[in-house]
């Protein structure tokens, strides 16, 4: 096919049509028209890269709609330097084709594919076609970039027009105003319209502002000429950005002037009137907020943040010699958690408020009274409180707190523990003083329901010793210092050994034998008791596996284990690993654990029962009301606290302790429970238990706790020990 001849004017016109296209569609239509002018009937497809350079889309398709050319292939070619898509594979052999990337500088913005029905098929024709396509590609790329810039400019201009910010542009070299938006004229209604404003300078506008009286500035009101001179100096000094808060009439604005690289200046005013008013209101309330930060919202007393700053002030005064001594009374309410749990937090809050008022009104000598947190109060005296005065103040505090408190027809009595510490001299450490008072308070808690203690250095030594003991307990696990002991239990009717209670003993290499009543509470406080409990359970089951099948082993369960939903798995694992029958394992729960009875604990015990183990209620009658537990929880056995046998006197069967013991036995048997009494130390106690038909017994008289090897010997030699003891007692 021969090349079509066109004139120079027509060629220029076609190039201008491509360069000045107002849309992508118009751009590619102009390309198509130009190609057909040169080569006759032509087909064209065009792709465009998005501005983020993340994808390619089809923008125009003239005559090639049946051509298989997916965007993904074009995208791989344009954005990832992949292979050129073989779009010509689907063309008729008589067709000629060309393609080119639309490139502007180093940026690829698209691609075009053209097909010419040139039947000549000569290489020269292909070269001409490719030259035409490449020329179109250069023109098209520039036009496409221009379209994007014009579109972006239109969007920016539209945003400026619609912006709520007051915006004005000044041209470079004193050209004056070249643009202002509607918001700018709403801020300055005394200015002429947008067209009339063109060409006015920055200072011209300030003059109009002064004439209109809208500038709220002392200098502008008193010396307007000097004010204008300063504004002009600021304008001349502007290099990058000038920012200030500006008041115009009743409005407040953030005013900025920014010089661009081109030399043009943009002026913006952002209305912050509401924010300024809000800031003013916040400043007015700043003192109130400062007070609230340091005030306990519940009691109205000062709070911990205030107290910590107050301590710093006291320390500086003592260091400077302006204060000789400080005394601290640390006050902690006793069993206040029970009040909250029983009556609710609203009731508890009311109690705290009343106690706070009582302390403030009843101890006016105090320099400061603070609610430190929860149910703790701290009273500070900026002097040394010693001797008789200390005793009087401490007892007064205890009396004030322990006086009955009435709330909504309910009267309640709260106890307290008070720790007292004093310090004097310029080297006094008030942080340490606070810790001393806290230590003394904890010592007071060990005394009685209402007590006070004065700090003694020995208390700190005890605390250090206690901390060291905690570390030794941690080491005891690794060094295998714990050992299982077993105390025998007997059937009072058959006179036979029925089982053992597993007990843990600790032989420390330096401390020697550490009693359980020393290390068990520490382990409970430090969340280590569950680890010990698992060790005891596993060890007891493994040892009991070597005993006759009719003997059981009893293991104590801690409160944390009872409330741990995974403890049932631990029981199952212990039974499985030891191959011990489930009925040979008895789990003992102290009744004090069930004070806060709930469905979780009941569900736990029921789960254990499903495993086939026996469950016993320990320490029955020790000081809690256990009758409801016996009916509500599925216990197999009840264990009578040793205190009843300790108070028992032979020959006084009507004594209170004997009567109560008998009543517990009868109650247990009525409910179908096995009853065991612990603490049997004399033959008289044993005989009394048999007389009231108590099922089982345990105590030093029958056998002391012993190591596992001794327990095995005990089983072999003394399974009928009980019968022989009874025969001896009868013969005597």
- Matching residue, tokens 């073989």: 86
Q: Which residues pair with 615 in a beta bridge?
A: 587
| pLDDT top residue among 392 and 461 | 392
Question: Strand pairing of 614-620 and 496-508?
Answer: unpaired
Instruction: Find the angle CA(715)-CA(716)-CA(720) to the nearest 5 degrees.
Output: 75
Lowest mean pLDDT among 310-324, 451-465, 565-579, 669-683: 451-465
CA distance 61 to 146: 22
Q: What is the reported pLDDT for 3? A: 46
CA distance 659 to 530: 37
Predicted confidence band of residue 653 (pLDDT cuts 50, 70, 90): low
Cα–Cα distance for residue pair 400/395, rounded to 1 Å: 9
pLDDT-derived band at 125 (thresholds 50, 70, 90) equals low
The answer to whether 23 touches 40, Cβ cutoff 8 Å, is no
376-386 average pLDDT score: 92
Q: Tell me what pLDDT residue 637 has.
A: 92
The CA distance from 395 to 418, in Å, is 9
Instruction: State pLDDT tens for residues 436-481.
Output: 999 989 888 887 678 899 988 888 887 888 888 888 888 888 888 8
Confidence band for 556, pLDDT divided at 50, 70 and 90: very high
Higher pLDDT, 373 or 586: 586
598 vs 410, more confident: 410
Q: Percent of the chain beyond pLDDT 90?
A: 23
Q: What is the pLDDT of residue 396?
A: 93
pLDDT digits (tens, 9 = 90+) for 222-234: 888 888 888 888 8
- Contact present, 184 and 209 (Cβ < 8 Å): no
The more confidently predicted of residues 650 and 81 is 81
- The 10 Å Cβ neighbour count of residue 197 is 21
Mind listing the pLDDT tens digit for each residue in 700-726? 999 999 999 999 999 988 765 544 554
- Residue 192: half-sphere exposure toward Cβ, Cα within 13 Å: 9
H or E segment and range at residue 338:
helix 336-343
Which is more confident, 697 or 38? 697
pLDDT in tens, 673-696: 999 999 999 998 999 899 899 999
Highest mean pLDDT among 95-99, 143-147, 327-331: 327-331
- For the cut 60, the answer to whether the pLDDT of residue 179 exceeds it is yes
Across the chain, what does the average pLDDT equal? 84
pTM of the model: 0.50
Phi, psi for residue 33 in degrees, rounded to 5: -60, -40
- What was the pLDDT predicted at 730? 39
> Encoding tokens for residue 197?
């404003």
Q: pLDDT class for 240, splitting at 50, 70, 90?
A: confident
Nearest Cα to Cα of residue 712 among 581, 582, 575, 553: 553
Q: Mind listing the pLDDT tens digit for each residue in 268-283?
A: 888 888 887 887 777 7
Give strand ranges (E) for 63-118: 96-104, 107-116
Give the pLDDT confidence score for residue 628 in this predicted structure.
Answer: 65
Distance CA 536, CA 566 (A): 17
Q: Which helix (H) or strand (E) holds 724?
A: helix 721-731
Q: Which of 52, 56, 11, 2 is nearest to 35 (CA)?
A: 11
Residue 413 has pLDDT above 80, yes or no: yes
Give every CB contact of residue 54 below 8 A, 6+ residues apart in sequence: 79
- What tokens appear for 114 in the block? 């053209």
Q: Under 8 Å CB-to-CB from 538, ≥6 apart: which residues?
A: 573, 574, 577, 578
CA-based nearest residue to 48, from 30, 14, 80, 25: 25
Q: How confident is the model at residue 119 (pLDDT cuts 50, 70, 90)?
A: low
Residue 731's pLDDT band (cuts 50, 70, 90): very low
Q: Among the ranges 68-72, 579-583, 655-659, which has the highest mean pLDDT value? A: 579-583
Examine the pLDDT at 286 and tell me if it is beyond 50: yes
Whole-angstrom distance, CA of residue 245 vs CA of residue 251: 11
């Amino acid at each position: 096919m021969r090349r079509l001849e066109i004139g120079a004017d027509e060629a220029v016109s076609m190039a201008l049509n491509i360069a000045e296209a107002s849309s992508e569609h118009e751009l590619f239509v102009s390309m198509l028209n130009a190609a057909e002018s040169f080569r006759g009937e032509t087909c064209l497809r065009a792709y465009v890269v998005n501005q983020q350079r993340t994808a390619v889309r089809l923008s125009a398709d003239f005559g090639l709609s049946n051509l298989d050319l997916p965007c993904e292939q074009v995208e791989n070619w344009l954005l990832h330097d992949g292979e050129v898509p073989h779009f010509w594979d689907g063309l008729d052999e008589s067709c000629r084709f060309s393609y080119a990337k639309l490139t502007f500088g180093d940026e690829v913005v698209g691609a075009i594919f053209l097909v010419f029905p040139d039947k000549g098929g000569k290489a020269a024709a292909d070269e001409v076609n490719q030259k035409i396509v490449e020329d179109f590609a250069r023109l098209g790329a520039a036009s496409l970039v221009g379209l994007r810039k014009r579109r972006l400019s239109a969007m920016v201009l539209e945003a400026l027009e619609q912006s709520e910010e007051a915006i004005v542009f000044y041209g470079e070299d004193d050209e004056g105003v070249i643009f202002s938006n509607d918001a700018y004229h709403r801020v300055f209604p005394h200015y002429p319209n947008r067209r009339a404003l063109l060409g006015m300078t920055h200072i011209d506008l300030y003059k109009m502002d002064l004439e209109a009286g809208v500038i709220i500035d002392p200098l502008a009101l008193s010396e307007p000429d000097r004010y204008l001179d300063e504004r002009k100096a600021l304008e001349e000094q502007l290099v990058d950005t000038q920012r200030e808060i500006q008041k115009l009439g009743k409005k407040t604005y953030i005013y900025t002037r920014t010089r661009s690289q081109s030399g043009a200046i943009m002026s913006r005013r952002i209305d912050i009137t509401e924010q300024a008013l809000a800031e003013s209101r916040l400043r007015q309330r700043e003192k109130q907020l400062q007070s609230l930060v340091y005030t306990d919202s519940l009691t109205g007393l000062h709070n911990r943040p205030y107290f910590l700053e107050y301590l710093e002030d006291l320390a500086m005064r003592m260091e400077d010699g302006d204060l000789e001594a400080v005394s601290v009374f640390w006050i902690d309410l006793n069993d206040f958690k029970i009040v909250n749990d029983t009556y609710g937090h609203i009731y508890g809050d009311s109690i705290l408020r009343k106690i706070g008022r009582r302390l403030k009104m009843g101890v006016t000598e105090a320099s400061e009274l603070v609610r430190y947190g929860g149910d703790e109060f701290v009273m500070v005296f900026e002097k040394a409180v010693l001797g008789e005065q200390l005793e009087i103040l401490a007892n007064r505090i205890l009396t004030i707190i322990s006086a009955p408190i009435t709330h909504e027809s309910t009267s309640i009595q709260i106890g307290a523990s008070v720790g007292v510490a004093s310090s004097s001299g310029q080297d006094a450490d008030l942080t340490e003083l606070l810790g001393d008072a806290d230590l003394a308070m904890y010592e007071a808690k060990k005394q009685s329901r209402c007590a006070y203690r004065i700090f003694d250095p020995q208390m700190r030594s005890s605390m250090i010793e206690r901390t060291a003991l905690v570390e030794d307990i941690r080491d005891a696990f690794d060094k295998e210092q714990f050992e299982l002991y077993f105390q025998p239990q007997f059937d009072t009717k058959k006179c036979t050994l029925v089982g053992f209670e597993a007990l843990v003993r600790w032989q420390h290499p330096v401390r020697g034998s550490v009693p359980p009543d020393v290390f068990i509470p520490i382990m409970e406080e430090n969340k280590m008791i569950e680890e010990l409990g698992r060790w005891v359970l596993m060890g007891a089951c493994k040892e009991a596996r070597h005993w006759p099948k009719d003997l059981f082993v009893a293991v104590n369960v801690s409160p944390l284990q009872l409330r741990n939903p995974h403890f049932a798995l631990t029981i199952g694992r212990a039974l499985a690993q030891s191959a011990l029958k489930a009925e040979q394992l008895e789990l003992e729960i102290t009744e004090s654990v069930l004070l806060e009875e709930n469905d979780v604990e009941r569900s736990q015990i029921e789960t254990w029962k499903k495993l086939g183990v026996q469950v016993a209620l320990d320490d029955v009658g020790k000081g809690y009301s256990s009758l409801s537990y016996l009916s509500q929880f599925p216990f197999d056995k009840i264990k009578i606290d040793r205190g009843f046998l300790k108070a028992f006197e032979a020959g006084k069967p009507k004594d209170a302790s004997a009567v109560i013991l008998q009543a517990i036995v009868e109650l247990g048997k009525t409910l179908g429970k096995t009853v065991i009494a612990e603490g049997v130390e004399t033959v008289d106690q044993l005989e009394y238990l048999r007389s009231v038909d108590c099922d089982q017994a345990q105590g030093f008289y029958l056998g002391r706790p012993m190591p596992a090897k001794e327990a095995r010997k005990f089983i072999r030699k003394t399974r009928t020990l009980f019968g022989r003891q009874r025969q001896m007692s009868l013969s005597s």
